[in-house]
Amino acid sequence: MASPYLVFNKTSFTRICRKLAKKDADLASIIKQHGFPPMWTRPATFQTLILTILEQQVSLASAYAAFKKLKEKIGFVTPAKILALTDEELRTCYFSRQKIIYARELAKAIQSKKLRLKNLSLLPDEDIRTEMIRLKGIGHWTIDVYLMHALQRTDLFPLGDIALVNSLKETKKLPKDISKEEMLKIAELWRPYRTIAAMILWHSYIKKRGIKLGV
């Protein structure tokens, strides 16, 4: 029986990039200029979700600074360690008031087994979305990023991501006021590999601006 979802891995990633480049001259041009994108993946863990919460609506540099500070304080990030910290301690790790609430709610959900990360990895994308969206502070962008980077699902295109939207507009020379529906129509060409197309577009955005990544 075929799996209800597709995943990418080290073996298939470059092959998918090449397949997309054959379909789309603009993606081919990015790869020609900057090489293949890194295969951006993260472990499917609570720690990864905390980093993703920290990345919500801030620069990557700000998120990484907060995450680094948290790791220096508690080491590997677990639900029990997050719940043991006071608001003040989390604030010294650059958590906003809202993100303190989100981190605690997530920690409680995992401790109470309301959310089981290991079980999630066996579900189709939309079932995972249904499970995760119930949690305070976990929106569609956070779920998309987790599906893409932690579960390595192949067909996400998170238009809640400003860098991705800007890179798509630059690459395709689109008007600033283009609708989400029109952008999704452009991305249809890349199905069922929109995640990898997004990584190629992020790669272009990062290279053009000389952004340094690293936690």
Q: How far is 168 from 183, CA to CA, in rounded Å? A: 8
Domain extent for 124: 46-150
User: What residue has token string 């996400």?
Assistant: 156
Which token pair is 28? 């081919």
Q: Which of 115, 150, 185 is the last residue of a domain?
A: 150
CATH number at residue 137: 1.10.340.30
Is the model's pLDDT at 213 over the cut of 90? no
The terminus-to-terminus CA distance of the chain in angstroms comes to 39
Please tell me the total count of domains within the chain. Answer: 2
Q: At what angle do helices 10-23 and 194-209 cross, to 10 degrees?
A: 80
| Mean pLDDT to the nearest integer, 92-103 | 98
Q: Do residues 146 and 51 share a domain? A: yes
Determine contact, residues 48/125, Cβ cutoff 8 Å. no
**Residue pLDDT, tens place only, 25-83:** 999 999 999 999 999 999 999 999 999 999 999 888 899 999 999 999 999 999 999 99
Written as one string, the DSSP assignment of 173-184 is T--TT--HHHHH
Is the model's pLDDT at 104 over the cut of 80? yes
Is the model's pLDDT at 1 over the cut of 60? no
Q: Does 4 fall in a domain? A: no
Q: Which of 150, 167, 189 is the last residue of a domain?
A: 150
**Nearest partner of 197 among 210, 184, 214, judged by Cα:** 184
Q: Does 194 fall in a domain? A: yes
Determine contact, residues 178/131, Cβ cutoff 8 Å. no
Q: Which of 118, 135, 150 is the last residue of a domain?
A: 150
Determine contact, residues 159/184, Cβ cutoff 8 Å. yes
The confidence score (pLDDT) of residue 2 equals 54
**Residue pLDDT, tens place only, 178-199:** 999 999 999 999 999 999 999 9
Determine contact, residues 132/109, Cβ cutoff 8 Å. no
* Residue 38: C-alpha distances to residues 31, 74, 116, 176 (Å): 11, 29, 29, 28
**Amino acid occupying residue 72:** E
Give this prediction's pTM.
Answer: 0.94
Determine contact, residues 77/70, Cβ cutoff 8 Å. yes
Q: Do residues 160 and 95 share a domain? A: no
**Nearest partner of 110 among 55, 42, 48, judged by Cα:** 48
Q: How far is 173 from 185, CA to CA, in rounded Å? A: 15
